[in-house]
Structure 1
């Protein structure tokens, strides 16, 4: 019992720490609240959420540019925060911070429930470690560490999506993992959970397809409900999910010409095929072992890629093999969840750009991968009679995650990266002037008259990128743009000949130390 008490105590300590760390900006003032957790893209979502709350609809740029470059469910939730404070920016951000903490708590409890259901009444190998303790340990390991903290507190949909994914998998496992016909109510429930996951993030179509596919094959073959009945179950559940997701899909298609939000098109239109495959093994490894972040130089090393790929594949595949061989009640759900992971890896590794976001895109797999790693550790330790060592290793992993999270609070370790641009604009740009930038999440939230150039939330800029391959004509012809302000690299635009850009804009700030560049439209004499 003492062994169980030690691991349980460490898990409890880590979870309390994870809660306090996520809450600590409240004790440190407005600067910490606005700059510590919320990312550049998080501010893009908050801009649309705030404009929706104050009656400007889904829009940016002081309500003048309609946009769908967000995921809808989180945007609607965050809009409530700004509605409660009549659009006050600091007040809304403060409430959003609290909402993210609440969503993380719900997700951590869901991960604990998932891990407990996977591990069963005990670890399955007679080690004496109860699944309840292990489940809390999994939840603690999942909750600490830089990746989990950043992804669950980024003001995007990431934490909410993980919650929806885990709940969907649990409900699916309870309903669809049985060798019998599904009742109508059960089919409707599965469809509703699928629709909710889609509203959280539209790549849930991979999860929906994966889970419903494995149920169809299982129902048709092993469950012996017949082809027609298995097909009907998938048709009903899938139809319900489509009906739930249809308003968002139609909104996108009617007003923006594509079912995919413009943010997705913006990030993928110039992606090289297979452009993210070189870092995929490292990101999967870090997702499976959140207490072991890798240095950047190791991510693209071929020997490292091979070793990490083998580790992830061996742990993941042997975990699934053991689960299926044992006839685990969640075997169908875990197979579908894993197929979803394969599709995620294939799509984001092969066809999508934005390699710096790959870790976030894979984060919905973290409950599965962390649970698989812990389950395999306990199984192997049980076979080798090294349970004390395994428990010590798990406890050390949790504490290492705590230490890495603490490191984020050191000065310069978790810098938001865009407030130098916000501060310069506040101090130097007249209120009535319009500013433009490639990265307009943070700037666009704090300075309403900001026009986006990378197309994530600006359909006109995206159209220019898709048709011309650049936005320089768009900027030159949009005469209300008086300033451009962004990171230091923008200073190179001062020599850009396309569209006559260099004749229209002059560089007024090029500060590499501050990572800041500012250009101003030349006023004719």
Structure 2
């Protein structure tokens, strides 16, 4: 396994080296615009400004556990770039820890069934997880996704190792579920599904099933209760503003496309190409075709795999059980987000649990190639490693991959023309609000007040006495009217795709 060990070290060094890019690069990809909403909240908490995105108004547009975990990055320094660097290092370590958990789960489940040594299977699994372009994107994007992967894998791993159910392991499972809920609120579906699942466990007497199910759910509820209370007490809704701003039923073709694209992409995570190739409906059909091929291949080459898991040792059976739970959780998320979330461009991130299922299929497939000494094994693993190394080199060079348009265009535009003492508004205000004070968010992700003024943004801006707006033309027309100039907004300057408007005193 020396060959694979070397590839794994190369990948880790390549990823970790991204932590030492210069200031204008460290704030860029793979960290995304929405991460800066969370960063702003964490920074304001650290600086004693309360739970706020702008330093003045309370917000609940963030995921609490991850946000509070990164508060120390802002508490130890006033240098925003250094804080982002610290957060990125934390995410790299979390990514590596997730790969460790994933590899441990696969090693102890499939080693005997695949007739492969535990050490070999561990390194194959560790390598495949760490080299995946989709895991790379989602675990290092600056959001809570990396923590979700880690905690979900910890939940699976702990359940897998249970011999007999007792109060200790039920309490720990309840704690892990509670942490998942305060990492991302949609994990409440996992708590409900697991509650029902425990009730159906025939290996226990019904009384024990009921007690354990209630205990597990109660612990998860108690851990997440402060978050539920905070939302309802201050904002009259248990749903954070980040969810409310994108909540709504709307059956449109782009949602169908994006949900199918997310499912297909997440089932074969190593084919993610940063939306450069294999895109559109062709990409969806190609990926579903690849999934079907892998499943049929494994069915032919490894017949009765699921039955063998059921009949094998306790650890394998536990893995199969928890895999069913996670799969059902994933299906619920598919319907929830398809029906009720307008943020269809983030479906692939919201459905991250499917990515784990897809990566399991990938590992089994590549492990079979290794066991049978197929030449494809070496070429495929080398290709995966090369792809991720090229991505890191690209990120170091600042070429090919798009630089953050918000940092490159929106922020300088505002800094040049808008006085520091005046508020500027924007729908996309993550990066802008992180690097500049007095920014008013208009899409509602971190601003509950604006949600009361749906389609009445000019009235809201007038009420708040905000006379500056900077965003894309689409958002200018959405917020200021189809013709902002006729409504009294003067176009001051255009930079990149961003338009800066100012409204003179009425």
* Distance in 1 (alpha carbons) for counterparts of 2:276 and 2:340: 22
Give 1:160's match in structure 2, choosing from 134, 147, 164: 147
Q: Which residue number corresponds to residue 67 of structure 1?
A: 59
* Distance in 2 (alpha carbons) for counterparts of 1:236 and 1:316: 38
Q: Which residue number corresponds to residue 23 of structure 1?
A: 19
Farther off after superposition, 398-407 or 241-250: 398-407
* Distance in 1 (alpha carbons) for counterparts of 2:343 and 2:20: 30
Q: Which residue number corresponds to residue 402 of structure 1?
A: 389
Q: Does 1:442 align with 2:431?
A: yes
Q: Which residue number corresponds to residue 331 of structure 1?
A: 320
Q: Which residue number corresponds to residue 401 of structure 2?
A: 413
Q: Does 1:33 align with 2:26?
A: yes
Within 5 Å, which residues of 2 pair with 1:21-170? 22-25=18-21, 29-61=22-54, 63-85=55-77, 87-120=78-111, 122=112, 124-126=113-115, 129-170=116-157
SS of 1:518's partner is: strand
- Cα deviation per residue 1:438-459 (whole Å; 9 max; x = unaligned)? 1110101111100000010111
Q: Which residue number corresponds to residue 502 of structure 2?
A: 520
1:494 offset after TM fit, Å?
9.5
Farther off after superposition, 423-432 or 263-272: 263-272
* Distance in 1 (alpha carbons) for counterparts of 2:479 and 2:195: 53
Q: Does 1:308 align with 2:305?
A: no
1:35 offset after TM fit, Å?
2.9
Q: Which residue number corresponds to residue 509 of structure 1?
A: 493
Q: Which residue number corresponds to residue 264 of structure 1?
A: 243
Q: Does 1:475 align with 2:471?
A: no
Q: Which residue number corresponds to residue 484 of structure 1?
A: 469
- Cα deviation per residue 1:235-263 (whole Å; 9 max; x = unaligned)? 11111111111111111111111111110
* Ranges in structure 2 where 5+ consecutive residues have no aligned partner: 311-315
Within 5 Å, which residues of 2 pair with 1:245-260? 245-260=224-239
* Distance in 1 (alpha carbons) for counterparts of 2:20 and 2:141: 15
TM-score w.r.t. the length of structure 1 is 0.85
Q: Which residue number corresponds to residue 496 of structure 1?
A: 481
Farther off after superposition, 226-235 or 66-75: 226-235
* Distance in 2 (alpha carbons) for counterparts of 1:389 and 1:344: 35
SS of 2:153's partner is: helix
- Cα deviation per residue 1:120-142 (whole Å; 9 max; x = unaligned)? 3x4x243xx42333332333232
1:321 offset after TM fit, Å?
6.8
1:324 offset after TM fit, Å?
4.5
SS of 2:271's partner is: coil
Give 2:218's match in structure 1, choosing from 239, 254, 258: 239
Shift in alpha-carbon separation, 1:491–1:351, aligned structure 2, 3 A = closer
* Ranges in structure 1 where 5+ consecutive residues have no aligned partner: none
* Distance in 1 (alpha carbons) for counterparts of 2:337 and 2:423: 35
Shift in alpha-carbon separation, 1:493–1:391, aligned structure 2, 3 A = closer
Farther off after superposition, 428-437 or 283-292: 283-292
Farther off after superposition, 142-151 or 412-421: 142-151
1:502 offset after TM fit, Å?
3.9
SS of 1:109's partner is: helix
- Cα deviation per residue 1:3-62 (whole Å; 9 max; x = unaligned)? x33233323322332322x3232xxx221222344321110001111111111211122x
Q: Which residue number corresponds to residue 183 of structure 1?
A: 166
- Cα deviation per residue 1:471-490 (whole Å; 9 max; x = unaligned)? 232123321x1210112434
The answer (yes or no) to whether the contact 1:144–1:405 under 8 Å persists in 2 is: no
- Cα deviation per residue 1:256-306 (whole Å; 9 max; x = unaligned)? 1111111011122364467533233333333333332355785442x6544
The answer (yes or no) to whether the contact 1:408–1:414 under 8 Å persists in 2 is: no
* Distance in 2 (alpha carbons) for counterparts of 1:145 and 1:52: 34
- Cα deviation per residue 1:71-93 (whole Å; 9 max; x = unaligned)? 001110111211122x4423322
Farther off after superposition, 334-343 or 90-99: 90-99
The answer (yes or no) to whether the contact 2:334–2:351 under 8 Å persists in 1 is: yes
Shift in alpha-carbon separation, 1:275–1:245, aligned structure 2, 3 A = farther
The answer (yes or no) to whether the contact 1:436–1:484 under 8 Å persists in 2 is: yes
* Distance in 1 (alpha carbons) for counterparts of 2:480 and 2:424: 19
Give 2:176's match in structure 1, choosing from 183, 193, 196: 193
SS of 1:439's partner is: coil
* Distance in 2 (alpha carbons) for counterparts of 1:494 and 1:193: 41
Shift in alpha-carbon separation, 1:324–1:204, aligned structure 2, 3 A = farther
**What is the total number of aligned residue pairs between the two structures?**
493
The answer (yes or no) to whether the contact 1:149–1:405 under 8 Å persists in 2 is: no
